[in-house]
Amino acid sequence: MKRFLAPLLIGLIGTAILLGLGRWQLQRLEWKEGVIAAIDAQIRDVPGDLPDAPTEADRYKPVRLEGRFTGDRLLVLVGHKEMGPGFRVIAAYETGGRRIMVDRGFIYEAWRNDPLNAAEAEVNGNLHWPEEVDSYTPAPEGDLWFARDVPAMASALGTEPVLVVARTPTGDGVIPLPIDTSAIPNDHLGYALTWFSLAAVWVGMTLLWLWRIRRRGEGNA
């Protein structure tokens, strides 16, 4: 019986750890679904005024602005699964004595050199601080950028480091790409299934180990 003790303990301890990790991922899944639901509700809340000094707590806050586009803009290279390659238009916008940025949405590659009007426009959208820049992001090439970098773009356009992503059309044929929660990663169910699968494999390997020990014992009898 003693020869079974160590494998049995290893099997039980390993299985308990793997099942615990799986349960933890299910708890994380419940938490993440709650976070996403709260963000969805905030995104679709009643639009309000632009905060005087937006902070991280204002991320996704819906706002309604009245003002004018200055004609200054930057382009961010993007690909859209339905519309193909093109650019996001990040434009300077003046409202209430302030100068901020508006992500107006998508234009096709062929429209790159078309002028965008400096015109009065109402903007309905959400405050956002995209986290798209990493050590592999290429440096901008003129007005072409490869990720939305709010502080750097604000410096280039001479605006506050404030970005509103438009939910409705702002003119010039620009197609809005409104914020949603589809890009927020939520892989916890997959992780949980992985840990539970590993627990099942661990149990199987433990049973195989015990069976082999028993066979060796019978062979030596």
Residue 9 lies in a domain: yes
Determine the straight-line distance between the first and last CA of the chain, rounded to whole angstroms. 14
Instruction: Say whether both 80 and 147 belong to one domain.
Output: yes
Residue showing tokens 């007005």? 143
Instruction: Say whether both 160 and 66 belong to one domain.
Output: yes
Residue 200, pLDDT score: 94
- Measured from the Cβ of residue 31, the count of other Cβ atoms closer than 10 Å reads 11
Residue 182 CB burial class (10 angstroms; 0-12, 13-18, ≥19): exposed
Residue 154 lies in a domain: yes
Instruction: Say whether both 73 and 130 belong to one domain.
Output: yes
- Measured from the Cβ of residue 179, the count of other Cβ atoms closer than 10 Å reads 22
Query: What is the 3-class SS of 20-42, one letter each residue?
Result: HHHHHHHHHHHHHHHHHHHHHHH
Residue 154, pLDDT score: 96
Instruction: Say whether both 16 and 89 belong to one domain.
Output: no
Residue 209, pLDDT score: 85
Residue 80 lies in a domain: yes
Instruction: Say whether both 202 and 161 belong to one domain.
Output: no
Instruction: Say whether both 123 and 78 belong to one domain.
Output: yes
Task: Fill in the DSSP letter of residue 132.
Answer: -
Instruction: Say whether both 27 and 82 belong to one domain.
Output: no
Distance CA 147, CA 78 (A): 8
Of 126, 150, 166, at which residue does a domain stop?
A: 166
Residue 174 lies in a domain: no
Q: Structural domain tally of the chain?
A: 2
Of 122, 149, 166, at which residue does a domain stop?
A: 166
Instruction: Say whether both 92 and 143 belong to one domain.
Output: yes
Residue 44, pLDDT score: 86
Instruction: Say whether both 215 and 128 belong to one domain.
Output: no
Instruction: Say whether both 66 and 153 belong to one domain.
Output: yes
Residue 171 lies in a domain: no
Q: Are 103 and 164 in contact (CB under 8 A)?
A: yes
Residue 6 lies in a domain: yes
Residue 219, pLDDT score: 59
Instruction: Say whether both 118 and 22 belong to one domain.
Output: no
pLDDT along the chain (221 residues), means of 10: 77 92 94 88 88 89 94 91 89 94 93 82 92 89 93 95 94 90 85 94 89 72 54
Grouping H, G, I as helix, E, B as strand and the rest as coil, residue 112 is coil
Distance CA 188, CA 221 (A): 49
Instruction: Say whether both 66 and 32 belong to one domain.
Output: no
Residue 39, pLDDT score: 83
Residue 24, pLDDT score: 95
Residue 195 lies in a domain: yes
Residue 200 lies in a domain: yes
Residue 167 CB partners (closer than 8 Å, separation 6+)? 62, 124, 125, 126, 176, 178, 179
Full residue range of the structural domain in which residue 206 is found: 2-38+191-220
Distance CA 138, CA 2 (A): 62
Provide φ and ψ at 63, rounded to 5°: -135, 155
Residue 186, pLDDT score: 86
